[in-house]
Structure 1
Amino acid sequence: MSDYITLLDQVRHCRLCADQLPQGPRPVLQLHPSARLLIAGQAPGRKVHASGIAFDDASGARLRDWLGLDATQFYDPTLVAILPMGFCYPGSGPHGDLPPRPECAAHWRVPLLQQLPKLQLTLLLGQHALAWHLPAAGNITQAVRNWQAGWPHILPLPHPSPRNNLWLQRNPWFAAEVLPVLRQRVQQLLGTS
């Protein structure tokens, strides 16, 4: 138990890419060795950077709905681990937030994942998480269409950001086919209903 606490403390005090972060480092993650569900996201946005709470935004509200979890369940680290590809807000670019800083995954991802012995389902939110966990899966639409390939242990998902509303409208099969199965699996894993 102390290894994971020490590691979390090290991550929370990380300054690997401090010089490249427009608002400075503020690592946001959630981890406990008992977690059975892992959310592998992109990187915190501006609002999450300000609050220090993962998915404390419209993306989080949609994600909790997709999972059928309330905030208490979602933010219970003994149930849900949240490890984005980048732990700090990377800043914004011409088309939204910049990609996650690569230093996080290169330095921290493997040691953190090793702290999750009870993990049974990993959700890959967006292209950056998909590229790290399933590099041969193709683009996010292809991977989500082929969602059964890694089921029931790994599931690629579009990012729940409101920026993906058009994707969701163009792909109604996602809500009809994938979300009911995902909710059922989450209920089985976490004992929620």
Structure 2
Amino acid sequence: MSVDPEDFEPTYRWPVPPEGGWTADDLDRLPNLPPHTELIDGSLVFVSPQTLFHSLAIDYFTWQLRNQQPPGLKVIREFTIDIDRHNRPEPDVIVFDRSAVGDWNQTRLPAASVCLAVEVVSPESFGRDRGVKPVKYAGAGIRHFWRVENKDGRAVVYVYELDPSTGSYGTAGIFHDRLKVAVPFPIDIDLTEITSEHDI
């Protein structure tokens, strides 16, 4: 009895990139991509399962920033931004200008509208969040960037501000228990609250 090799083919085939890599527009056209797929340097980046800390931190920063945002700004979580033709990353939390809102079918924001990008570091995203993404965000002119890390179950936030003379980020502070900054608007956040109700 002969066996058809196609009987053993996987039901899903990973997309094969075109010559030159994928483009920002391809993210909206490719079928069956996993949720929260990003485009970095023309390559698709798939998200691994989130840790509990990662999920709690995203929820907490989204809620805190929404409660403190001034008129004219808006906060959204896990939404892609257009940097250039081959880069469409998805920060964990974004603060952006309300004027960038188009319609309910919108799938991305222009980088020029973003005033703060927040990345919560996961084991699988360590290199991207510490190295690749800050360079992309700075190059796109995003003035403020926060990197949130889990240090023994407590959040540490590394705050960066864009130096217009160099086009790169400079460290504006490292915050352990409380984050209090004046820019991009007055923000005061108790970092201990992220995991205080979820002691393990």
Bin of the TM-score, shorter chain as denominator length: 0.3 to 0.5
Higher helix share: 1
Q: Which has the larger radius of gyration?
A: 2
Q: Which has the higher contact order (CA 8 A, sep 6+)?
A: 1
TM-score, normalised by the number of residues in structure 1: 0.34
